[in-house]
Chains A and B, each alone.
Chain A
């Protein structure tokens, strides 16, 4: 369903309220649409239904106590949030974490990226009526969650790592599971690719649906897969490499038109690249002695000197940054989270203007808006 520019504007508009409690609205998103028949004339997103005051909470908790709160940002890939926050505090303290901790973080973060993309691609299929690929992908995600569960007990809200390193070595199950798991993930991705990519209905529903130009995307502050789908090759893992990302050999997939199809396809390819990264990180990990340190020397009570920093990582959705201002006490003076889908979602009215109502749902899914991260 491409842009319906020929539809006559009658001026007889109907207002439709979608959400905040609606199965296709990914949690608690609400969009009020002014429609002319099936065409959207204007869409206004209202956010804040999942606002829990995470930043205010952060000002009243110590640096360590805030780690579990970051799980609740993007709950599809909690590990990426944990790593982003810990990296920011480590920058504030000016400490370097041990090599082994870096590699474990890379491995777990890339696993979280795969899990996040699987959910996004799977749900996009479900929202457009393709139910089967969802199961292929979700079974594999469950296997990844098994690894997380063996790491420290939680499946969704992992509270991974500590400030200054990680609390535990890779779980035993990772060593036995990973060689087989990567093949099954690849197989599931292949199945999805076969079922969707060249499917006539899928192509009709996704190709050319709410395209976005790279100039607009950059002006709106897009990052991550949504930006790469428009053709801008930007990935913090390549551009501002942290940990060992400059030593790994991987590609940054880019799209061309920035439409739903490109966003879907970029994510599908990124999963393969993540598998490559994990393999390389695992090889480096195995070369390290088994008793290599996991934690840097960190004082028990963290009191960073006065100052402010901004640190960002490439989370599955894009640039996830933490701005932390310290006043020299054991609690942060101000924490500002820069969630990737916050900046993406503000372009939503522009993205869906003139599209069909059904395409709004496709657009929302392909942007991968996570309410927990959006509202904080």
Chain B
């Protein structure tokens, strides 16, 4: 039984989407079930994804915009334009959080993806499963503004405390916005 079947067997209906690309397996699960799914993947015999490699945040807004523009272009006639608003529905969630997992006993890798919409930027923290999730979650918060509920110390990591933006979002300009640090935040105790 391959990894894909094993994962499907274990999680069943929790899997929204399963993608295999260049030998990498990615599953998408509902945002509210991330802790449950990761706990199951970590502990169930036969899978044991017991090593958290990293947590990656992705801002998909530019990707959606590009796709939208592409869709509109080839269909110039009125019919297509009329159809467009019907198709759209609610906008797709803007952010993704991807957990990179590794099973130490079998050397299998798996990515678990959740989608986070801009209206509800709160995700359950997995620091209870891996203490090593502490800094990666802080970095995702720092760079994308996704808050992790239950995180012991959700502060900015690479940017300074009080930085007004989230720099890895696609709408943040490459050259910055002229933010300056006032060094009031250097005291810890």
Contact = CB atoms under 8 A, between A and B. Distances in A.
A231 to B, nearest CB: 13
A310 interface: yes
B134 interface: yes
Contacts of B168: 55-56
B3 to A, nearest CB: 14
A27 interface: no
Nearest to B133: A221
B189 A32 contact: yes
Contacts of A53: 167
Contact of A92 (B22, B104, B111, B130): B22
A309 B24 contact: yes
B21 A319 contact: no
Contacts of B109: 310
A319 B53 contact: yes
Contacts of A321: 53-54, 100
Nearest to A48: B158
B100 A323 contact: yes
A94 B22 contact: yes
Interface string A294-335: 000000000000011110100000010101010100000110
Given A325-B58, A338-B100, A60 B174 contact: yes
Interface centre among A51, A57, A92, A334, by most chain B C-beta atoms within 10 angstroms, is A334
Interface string B150-163: 00000001111000
Given A56-B167, A56-B174, A310-B24, A220 B132 contact: yes
Contacts of A32: 188-189
Nearest to A93: B22
A346 B134 contact: yes
Contact of A57 (B53, B63, B98, B174): B174
Nearest to B159: A48
B24 A218 contact: no
Contacts of A333: 58, 62-63
A330 to B, nearest CB: 13
A309 B132 contact: no
Nearest to A337: B54
B7 interface: no
Nearest to B63: A327
Nearest to A236: B107
B54 A323 contact: yes
Interface in A56-95: 56-57, 60, 91-92, 94
Interface residues of A, number: 46
A346 B135 contact: yes
A319 B157 CA distance: 21
Contacts of A312: 53
Nearest to A57: B174
Nearest to B140: A336
B22 A219 contact: no
B52 interface: yes
A357 interface: no
B75 interface: no
Interface in B117-143: 130-132, 134-135, 143
Given A48-B159, A92-B22, A94-B22, A323 B56 contact: yes
A353 interface: no
B56 A47 contact: no
A281 to B, nearest CB: 23
Contacts of B188: 15, 32, 44, 46
A216 to B, nearest CB: 8
Contacts of A240: 107
A270 B58 CA distance: 37
A94 to B, nearest CB: 6
Contact of B130 (A13, A48, A219, A234): A219
A342 interface: yes
Interface of A: 13, 15, 32, 34, 42, 44, 46-48, 51, 53, 55-57, 60, 91-92, 94, 216, 218-221, 234, 239-240, 307-310, 312, 319, 321, 323, 325, 327, 333-334, 336, 338, 342-343, 346-347, 375-376
Given A15-B188, A56-B174, A220-B131, 8 more contacts: A48-B157, A55-B143, A56-B168, A310-B53, A321-B53, A333-B58, A342-B135, A346-B132
29 contacts: A13-B189, A34-B189, A48-B157, A51-B158, A53-B167, A55-B168, A91-B22, A94-B22, A218-B50, A218-B104, A219-B130, A220-B130, A220-B131, A221-B130, A221-B132, A240-B107, A308-B21, A309-B21, A310-B100, A321-B100, A323-B56, A323-B98, A327-B63, A333-B58, A334-B59, A336-B54, A336-B56, A343-B54, A346-B134
